Structure 1
Amino acid sequence: PGRKLEVVKTPQVKESAGKQVRLTLSLDAEGKLSGKGEETYLGFEAAQLAEAFNQLSAESRNQALQGAVARYFGGAALSSVKLDHEDAVGAPFVLRYAFTVPRFGRLEGDRRMALGPLTFPAQLGRRYVQLSSRR
C-alpha cells in the first residue's frame, strides 16, 4: 500500500526437449513391419535414465525394453539394443534398437493393406494428462 504499481516480466523459459525420438519403419508385402528407433535423452532425464539402466541386469534391461516396444507395436520382437552413454556431466543418453512385428499389416481386398495403430511417440501417460470435471 502506498507504493506505485510496478510491472515486472519474468524471462521466458528456454524450452529444451528432454527427449528426441527418431523412428524408421518399413512394411513389406506380407505385412511384416521392421523398425529402427533412436531415442536421445538430454539433461536431467539422461542422467536419471542412465542411472536406472546401470542398476538393471542385461536380461532385465532387455525385458523392460521388449515390453515398452510391444506396448506400442503389438507383437513386436526386439532384434538389437545398443546403449550409448558417456560418464560425463551433461552427456546425452542414446538408446538405439531394432524390432520386427510379423503380421502388422493384413491384406484386404485386391491391393489394400490394413495397418495396426501407429501411436508410438505421441502417447501420453495418464499421470501426465488429467481432465477436470464438475459434478
Structure 2
Amino acid sequence: MGRILAIDFGAKRTGIAVTDELQIIASGLTTVNTKELLAFLKAYISKEDVELFVVGEPKQLNNQASESEELILPFLKKLEAEIPSIPIKRVDERFTSKMAFQTMIDSGLSKKQRRNKALVDEISATIILQSYLASN
C-alpha cells in the first residue's frame, strides 16, 4: 500500500500531510512555497510510494465554492498533467484553519508559535487528511 498525501493549497504557502504506508496515521509533513509545489511533489513521489493525492476543497457556508477555488483548479490541471499516475480526490476543507489554530492552542503553543502560518497550513493539511481517512 502506498501513502496518501494531502495538500492544503494556498496562494503563497501550501501545507502537506502524509499517511504512513498502512494509511492509518496522518502526520504533517511540511509547508512549501506554492511556486515550488509541483517540483516538491515530483521529488517526494520519486522517493516514496504515493497512491493518492487528497486536495482540500474550500467551500463557503452555503456549500458553494470559495474564491480560492479559482487558484486551485489550474494547479489541479497541472498536477493531473504532470503526475497522471496518481489520482486526486477532493475533501471539504471548511473550518480547517480554525481547527488547526485551536489545535495549536490546545497543545500549549505560545502566541508567537501560533503566529507561524506555515505551521497552521501543515496542521490544516493534516486535518484534511484525517477527515479523508475517517470518511473511508
The answer, yes or no, to whether TM exceeds 0.5 is no
Which of structures 1 and 2 has the larger relative contact order (alpha carbons within 8 angstroms, sep 6+)?
2
Q: Bin the TM-score by the shorter chain.
A: under 0.3
Higher gyration radius (CA): 1
Return the TM-score normalized by structure 1.
Answer: 0.24
